[in-house]
Amino acid sequence: MPSAACDEADTSEMNGGDASFAQVMGTGTFRSILPDTVWPAIAGPRAASLLALQYQLERSEWFPPEQLRQEQFRQLQNVIRHAGASVPYYGKLFAEHGIDANAPLDDAQWSKLPLLSRVDIQQAGDTLISTAIPKSHGEMTSLSTSGSTGMPVTIKGTALTQLFWLALTLRDHLWSGMDPAKKFGAVRFMKKGGAEFPGERHKGWGGAADPVFVTGPSFVLNIMTPVEKQIEWLQQTRPDYLLTYPSNLMALLTHCRHNKVAIPPLQLVETFGEILPPGVRDATKEAWAVRVVDMYSTNEVGYVALQCPEHEHYHVQSENLLVEVIDEGGRPCAPGQTGRVIVSTLHNFAMPLLRYALGDFATVGKPCPCGRGLPVLTNIVGRVRNMMTLPSGDQIWPTFGASKIGDVVPIRQFQLVQKTLTELEFHVVPQRSFTSDDEAKMRALITRELGPGFQIAITYHEAIARGPGGKYEDFRSELPA
């Protein structure tokens, strides 16, 4: 078992983040369906669709905002016409709000549309499903979302929505500068197997990269696997890229730092599913000399925003979703402002979601210096239920030095729970028993980050459970919303 010190990790490939499609085309080998014709490769039907979309995405990402908006409305016009005619929920809603589904779509028409909430989706049931899904969109797919808000919903899609999901997955691989010939590992939620599950090996990377490129193998491990076992697995499978949740990345980093182990030849960690706390990128660079690429995706609508190939903020995936960030008065947020994230699906003709309030908040950014016209989000700040209420009554999304906590005292897991306006509970799974000095240090760190006025009780646990869908919350509030 290799057990080199963390600081000996290979740093030679750290600067691969600005690879464009053209550069990857130079390193990745296209897959050909004709065994005797490998160059240039003859793409199969699925690869041809994905490559044709990628060709367009490579161009549309540079469109100025007005052009993107225009194209989005051109597509949304079709969605609205379809929804008005075949989705009972929208037929009624459009009538109630004086929306003519056949009138040219403009900002005035659009703003008449009320927001759609998760409760609306639950209550609408089958009336949100089209009675005339175009046959050309392929088979209907069904996805039950995790219900981490305690309100599970089922979202329908089609083979077409699936194709867009794959196209954006491929864009993500390309933007991240991944070489598809290398090894890809994932530690994530899996329906099968628990902590004892040994993981799976696949011949390729999956439905996005495999049809297009000759891919290396991939490995998947269940997120329920204890951290020590994950490290062993990473050392055995030796992936170049790792996909996992930010909370799991932090647990791996803490373990590596305290046990002086490395996981070569890892080059890049891609995080998803949770908010990436500040400091985790730097901590990963420091411990492993590895960069972090984060993404913003949701179960209901897929990729909302991907990290810019050249910067650490996110570009909205405008070719698949219209994303609005609005303030409390419903007005669009200006750069620097944080507001609610509202999404509209451009290609879901089975269950169109129009102006759906995801429940997330994000900060709008200025146009990106990289030149891409896709709108910028600088920060994804979380859900209302993850807001902390300060003793003053002010609400914040708490940052409490999540990445520093493991440095104060070695811990396996933690979660901060707000019980009342002035009482917090710090739940911890320690690596060793805390001394009273450790407890004092921990309280001091939290107080320094959050400000005074809280009583902090520290409670000890064997494990802290992940929520439905494998998500882990380092903060949750038990105050009534």
Sort 403 into a burial class: Cβ within 10 Å, 0-12 / 13-18 / 19+: buried
Kindly state the smallest distance separating residue 335's Cβ from Zn ion, in Å.
Answer: 14
| Residue 456 touching Zn ion (CB under 5 A) | no
Number of residues that bind Zn ion (CB under 5 A): 4
| Residue 82 touching Zn ion (CB under 5 A) | no
Kindly state the smallest distance separating residue 323's Cβ from Zn ion, in Å.
Answer: 15
- Identity of the residue, 82 or 313, whose beta carbon is nearer to Zn ion in the bound complex: 313
What residues from 401 to 440 belong to the interface with Zn ion (CB under 5 A)? none
Quick check: 265 and 238 in contact, CB under 8 A?
yes
| Residue 370 touching Zn ion (CB under 5 A) | yes
- Encoded one letter per residue, x for contact with Zn ion by CB under 5 A and - for no contact, window 251-270 reads --------------------
Kindly state the smallest distance separating residue 311's Cβ from Zn ion, in Å.
Answer: 5
Segment near Zn ion (CB under 5 A); pick from 194-202, 355-363, 369-377, 415-423: 369-377
| Residue 58 touching Zn ion (CB under 5 A) | no
Kindly state the smallest distance separating residue 379's Cβ from Zn ion, in Å.
Answer: 15
Segment near Zn ion (CB under 5 A); pick from 119-127, 222-230, 300-308, 404-412: 300-308
- Identity of the residue, 333 or 370, whose beta carbon is nearer to Zn ion in the bound complex: 370
Kindly state the smallest distance separating residue 369's Cβ from Zn ion, in Å.
Answer: 7
- Encoded one letter per residue, x for contact with Zn ion by CB under 5 A and - for no contact, window 303-332 reads -----x------------------------
- Identity of the residue, 9 or 321, whose beta carbon is nearer to Zn ion in the bound complex: 321
- Identity of the residue, 199 or 375, whose beta carbon is nearer to Zn ion in the bound complex: 375
Segment near Zn ion (CB under 5 A); pick from 47-55, 137-145, 363-371, 450-458: 363-371
| Residue 368 touching Zn ion (CB under 5 A) | yes
Sequence letter at residue 20:
S
Kindly state the smallest distance separating residue 264's Cβ from Zn ion, in Å.
Answer: 30
- Identity of the residue, 33 or 370, whose beta carbon is nearer to Zn ion in the bound complex: 370
| Residue 372 touching Zn ion (CB under 5 A) | yes
Kindly state the smallest distance separating residue 372's Cβ from Zn ion, in Å.
Answer: 5
| Residue 181 touching Zn ion (CB under 5 A) | no
- Identity of the residue, 62 or 460, whose beta carbon is nearer to Zn ion in the bound complex: 62
Kindly state the smallest distance separating residue 221's Cβ from Zn ion, in Å.
Answer: 32
Kindly state the smallest distance separating residue 306's Cβ from Zn ion, in Å.
Answer: 10
Binding site for Zn ion (CB under 5 A): 308, 368, 370, 372
